[in-house]
Each structure stands twice: as C-alpha cells, then as structure tokens.
Structure 1
Amino acid sequence: MNSMMRNTLAVASLLVLSACNGAPQAVGAADAANAPAAAESTQATPSVDAFKDFINEIRRFAGSAQVVMGDEAGDAVSLAVGDRIVTGFEQYPPRQLSLADGSTIYWGWQHGQAFVQSIAIRGTDGQLQLLGAVDDLPVLYSRRANRAIADQQAYDAFLRESAERGGKPAVALFIKDDNALAAYYPLVARWLQAAMLGFNADCSDPAQGPTCAFVEQVSVPVEAYARDCAAADTVNACALVVPDIPAADVPLESFKQ
C-alpha cells in the first residue's frame, strides 16, 4: 500500500493554504435552491483530448490550494490539491453519471491503488463545482470476497480490521462556499453510498438488498474546505460545515464502474 497516498487525507492536518486564480465560477446562493435533479441519463465516453482537457480543468479549479498531510510518526508534507485529485483520475475513461438537468458526477481511482479515489461534479452551467479526495472508503459488498455487511456490529468490526491494515476512511471536499456545498453535497453523499457498495449495485438481489439498505445509514468522515481560502494560520481556517442533509435520490444502480 502506498503509505503517502493512504495518509493523504486519513490523518488530521488538512487545510487550504492559498487561493486559486482564474478558476471557473462556482454556484452561489441563487443556485443553492436548484440542486441537481436526481434523474440520470447516458453520456458518451470522452475522447482522449477531452480527458486531457478535463484534467487541466481540475488543475485550474484547484489552483494553488495545498493539502497538508502527515502521520503521527512523521513530518507534515504538503501536496497540491490538483495533484491529489488528478492522482485519483488515472483510469481512462473516468467513470461518470450524467443527470437529466445537465449536472455530471465524475469519479476515478489511482492505477493499482483502488483505495485512492477522486470525485468531481460539473454543474448545470457546465463548470466544475466540486472536487473531492477519498481515501480508504470501506466496500461493504463484494461477491468476490463473499462480503455483505448489513449491520452496525459487522461494519464496526470491518473498520477495525481495515485500521489494522492501515486503512482509515476519509473524504475531503473542495468547493467555493457553503451555498455550493449545500447544493452539491447530496450528490457526494449518494456517490459515497454507491462506492461503498462497490458500484454496479443490484439492490433487488436478495443477497445485496440488506447491504443496500444499511449503506444509507452509514456515516463516513467528511471534511469540506473553501477552495479560494487564503488563510494558513490555523487548521480550521478554511473549513466549511458539512450540512446534515439527505443524500440525493439517485438510484444506487445508476452508478456503473
């Protein structure tokens, strides 16, 4: 396991150090009431050139923001947010779910390190609105591993086993402000649930149905940061309050990988 990637966001010490310049405009207060519709549609696989443009767009959106990471036994290391997000999009093409209103959820993972994932959301205006770095997200259902976790006791035991192997779930989101977070967090929450099912869910399957129901009750650590924050004096200077709102009503089966 790549310990640097494993600890990128899993251990405390994460903040945005400096503002980004020239990034696309994110949603504001007027857009918050128009959260993306929860109806999906298909979208063609992007060309290689379009994928390169997407990666460049991620870097522009992230600007010069930095992730400060480290573990209890070592010194803190600074990593560009753009670099971390791009690391989680090493697979081509990126997986995506296009919603009926024009919003799109993109996700991917690091080559050979599936526990290092990234998510990005494009809004109805066609611009990136949110980036997310996801580490060590627990997968509760796996036919290959004969695993179907459907209750809190089994989940807690699974987390303990993962921690012994060095895995600790963590999610960090980078977004413009609280209004944008309120608008797009429900999509992030639903994507997290689909990811914990291993994607390609079939909740009508009696073997998987209980895990589908349980995953909607699971809470994983999520932190959010103002993308344009220039403060660097305290860890929480750029933190946003993650809203306590339901996940979007997108069918879990819609997330294909």
Structure 2
Amino acid sequence: MRDVTNGNVLVWGFQPHNAQVQSLAVVNRQGAVQVLGIVDGLYLSLPSGKTRWEPGKDARIALFVRDPAALTQNLSAIRAWAAASVLGFNQDCPGKDQARCQTALKQPLPIQAYNLNCRTANGKIINQHCAVPLPQVPGNVSPGLFWQ
C-alpha cells in the first residue's frame, strides 16, 4: 500500500506462488475505490543487465473505472507502479537505480481502461464499446515509491 501524490492510496497484491498475476486498487481518502486493475505478465520483466523492456504477447494491464476522470488523477501513479513491477520493486530512485527507473518509466505499457458503467446489449463490459481512452498525464511519480 502506498500513498500517491494526490492523496489517494494504491494497494496491490499478487496471486500466491505466481507474482505475474497481480491486482491493484486506488482508493481515495474516504475509502472509495477510484480504479481497479488486473495485471498479467509484468512483474520482474526487466533483469538487471537489460535496458529495454518488451512486454510479452500476453502482458496486460486492464483498468476499470466508474468515472473516467479517475484515470487523469491516478494514471501517473499506476504507470510508476507498473514500472516498479517491471523492475521487481524496491528500487532506489532517485538514487543508485535512477537510470533503471527512468528507462522503465519510458517503456510503453500494455494498458487498457474500461468504463464499468458501460453495458452492451449482451451485458458484457470488456469490449471496444466500453474502452476509455487513456489521458495524457505527466510522469511525475517515481517507481521508487513502491516497495514490497
């Protein structure tokens, strides 16, 4: 669990014995869930000698929101969390791991967002009709915030 720059808290976990399957939630100060996410294929994907990360064909981050404005408020922290996950967490940035952190932050991430209030005729949520475009946000949150 980690406070992010806007006062919200990002909480994450993983499937026991399989850190590749992760979940995350961003909760505001009142305890209301802002974003839910499922993550697959990111954890410790950039070994220490590598500088370029390429997501596997099945890697993904699926974010679910009731209010798309929550993405604008929280996407910087989610991207930094994902960069920390790619690095295996516990990075000293700024500090001795700063170059690795900056490299990870610049990598494209397989993020898709979906509006939970969207319903199609057959009741499905995850489809192109419910996809929410990702807002442009500053990369002002450090992967060094996220330790486990």
By the TM > 0.5 criterion, same fold? Answer: yes
RMSD: 2.2
Is the partner of 2:22 in helix, strand or coil? strand
Structure 2 partner of 1:27: none
Q: Secondary structure at the match of 1:237?
A: helix
Of 212, 225, 247, the match for 2:114: 225
- The question of 1:178 aligning with 2:68 is answered yes
Question: TM-score normalized by structure 2?
Answer: 0.83
Letter in 1 for 2:144: E
Inter-partner Cα distance in structure 2 for 1:194 and 1:132 = 16
Q: Percent identity?
A: 30
Q: How far did residue 224 of structure 1 move?
A: 0.5
Asked if 2 retains the 8 angstrom alpha-carbon contact of 1:200 and 1:253, the reply is: yes
Can you give the 5+ residue segments of structure 2 that lack an aligned partner in the other structure?
none
Matches for 1:20-169 after TM superposition, within 5 Å: 96-99=1-4, 102-137=7-42, 139-142=44-47, 147-150=48-51, 152=52, 155-156=53-54, 159=55, 163=56, 168-169=58-59
Distance 2:4 2:28 in 1: 10
Kindly provide the CA deviation profile for residues 54-90 of structure 1, in whole angstroms up to 9, marking residues without a partner as x: xxxxxxxxxxxxxxxxxxxxxxxxxxxxxxxxxxxxx
Q: Residue 109 of structure 1: SS of its match in structure 2? A: strand
Larger radius of gyration: 1
Kindly indicate which of the two structures has a greater share of residues assigned to strand. 2
1:107 positional shift = 0.4
1:245 and 2:131 matched: no
Write 1 or 2 for the structure with the bigger share of helix.
1
User: Equivalent residue of 2:2, what SS?
Assistant: strand
C-alpha distance 103-136 of structure 1, shift in aligned 2 (>3 A):
same
